[in-house]
Amino acid sequence: MKKAFAAVAGLALFGFSTAALANPMVGTWKWEDFTIDCKEGGDHGMSCTVTDGPKNKGMEMVKSKLEAKDGAYVGQIAHPMTGETYNAKMVPDGNDKFKMDGCTAAGACASGEFTRVK
């Protein structure tokens, strides 16, 4: 299994509430060489944008509404390196990490960990 995400990707990955402080995904996250900024809003209620990294700066990663399910968040998230969309499950690990696993419709799978920068 190749390594893929990890925040936001922790990506939003998220307990959507109207107060930004109550939403654990709001903030800046690192995954490998990528920096990802997440905020409430956008087309799906949460927006996570690649702000730095080797590729795809400016790319929106959240491709569907993220739904709370059994202590995790599930939805479609774009991989920051390839732009491929994964059906992802994000599980909070404390306040400053999200573990993410997911697979594309074609069966490529990835996992990783997003760590809060701020």
Q: 3-state DSSP call for residue 118? A: coil
Instruction: State how far the alpha carbon of 71 is from the alpha carbons of 57, 64, 74, 81, in Å.
Output: 30, 18, 10, 27
**Residues paired with 64 in a beta bridge:** none
45 touches 75 (CB < 8 A): no
Tokens (6 digits) for 82:
């390839």
Comparing 10-19, 54-63, 97-106, which segment has the lowest mean pLDDT? 10-19
Supply the pLDDT for residue 2: 40
pTM for this prediction: 0.78
Find the mean pLDDT for residues 95-115.
93
Tokens (6 digits) for 101:
């696993």
Domains and CATH numbers, the chain: 2-116 (2.40.128)
Supply the pLDDT for residue 25: 84
Over its C-alpha atoms, the chain yields an Rg (Å, rounded) of 12
Q: How does pLDDT run across 44-95, given as a tens digit for each residue? A: 989 999 999 999 999 999 999 999 899 899 999 999 999 999 999 999 998 8
Q: Does 39 have pLDDT greater than 60?
A: yes
